Amino acid sequence: MEDTGQGKDPLEERLKLLRDIRNYLCYLREMGVEGVPAPQGGLTLEDIRREIGDCRRCRLHKERRNIVFGSGNPHAVLVFVGEGPGREEDIQGLPFVGAAGEMLTRIIERVLGLRREDVYIANVVKCRPPKNRTPYPDEIATCLPFLEKQLEVIRPKIIVALGSVAAQSLIGTKEGITSLRGRFHYYRGDTVIMPTYHPAYLLRNPGKKKETYHDMLMVKEKLKELGVVK
Ligand code: URA
């Protein structure tokens, strides 16, 4: 009779899988294999930065001063992703160092109880769009693979997507930020994403801060579960 898989004990199934993996690893060791490569095969953030090089893959290179790759802890449990560099970021070559950055730093320190150095901060596009316009879909599509690689190297447990461009790009949806925020979504396997309002939007609409505060408390709970904060 065909095995439909129904009626099997899921715990027993999982234990069997673990036993099989252990046996396979023992076999590899006996064969002289001393390690199993990480999914990115030892790729580092520096390698990704090198691959980007003096990028001219899209029109955004024309007016940029600096590529803003990202900064922070390469082993961060928590990564913040914004839309793209603004004026100050373009000048300094660092993400979130202008007014929106000050707001983000306050969120990280005062709400989450972390330091900026504990987290990693990056953007969907790495060059400033002229006059801070929203990046075009083709610009996002060109640059997104580099962010995806950064996330594969860092392997955070939680991503906070700041604003609709980051949320839609990472989740792969056209849903707006207002309906996406306030709940966790999944990003490739066991990483969760919390979309929330962009700090620049909060500067213009301070009445929305309480929603972001709520979203960040959900992130803080997750950090507590992970033993990252008390
Ligand atoms: N806004 C963003 O989306 N990213 C930055 O780095 C700064 C402002």
Q: The whole model's pTM is what? A: 0.84
Task: Compute the mean pLDDT over every residue in the chain, rounded to the nearest whole number.
Answer: 93
Domain regions of the chain by residue span:
40-225
How much is the pLDDT for 1?
46
Q: Does ligand 1 lie within 6 Å of residue 169's CB atom?
A: no
Q: Candidates 96, 97, 104: which one to mutate for ligand 1, based on the most atoms within 8 Å of Cβ?
A: 96
User: How far does the centroid of ligand 1 lie from the alpha carbon of residue 18, in Å?
Assistant: 43
- Going by their DSSP bridges, the two strands 185-187 and 191-196 should be labelled as antiparallel
Closest CA to 72 of 24, 107, 115, 39: 115
- Tens digits of per-residue pLDDT, 83-138? 999 999 999 999 999 999 999 999 999 999 999 999 999 999 999 999 999 999 99
* Fold adopted by 40-225: Uracil-DNA Glycosylase, subunit E (3.40.470)
Helices 137-154, 45-52: axis angle to 10 degrees equals: 160
User: How far does the centroid of ligand 1 lie from the alpha carbon of residue 159, in Å?
Assistant: 15
Q: Does ligand 1 lie within 6 Å of residue 90's CB atom?
A: no
Question: Which atom of ligand 1 is closest in space to residue 121's alpha carbon?
Answer: 6
- Tens digits of per-residue pLDDT, 27-62? 878 877 776 545 567 999 999 999 999 999 999 999
- For residues 173 and 160, give the distance between their C-alpha atoms in angstroms, rounded to a whole number: 16
User: How far does the centroid of ligand 1 lie from the alpha carbon of residue 99, in Å?
Assistant: 9
How much is the pLDDT for 121?
99
User: How far does the centroid of ligand 1 lie from the alpha carbon of residue 35, in Å?
Assistant: 39
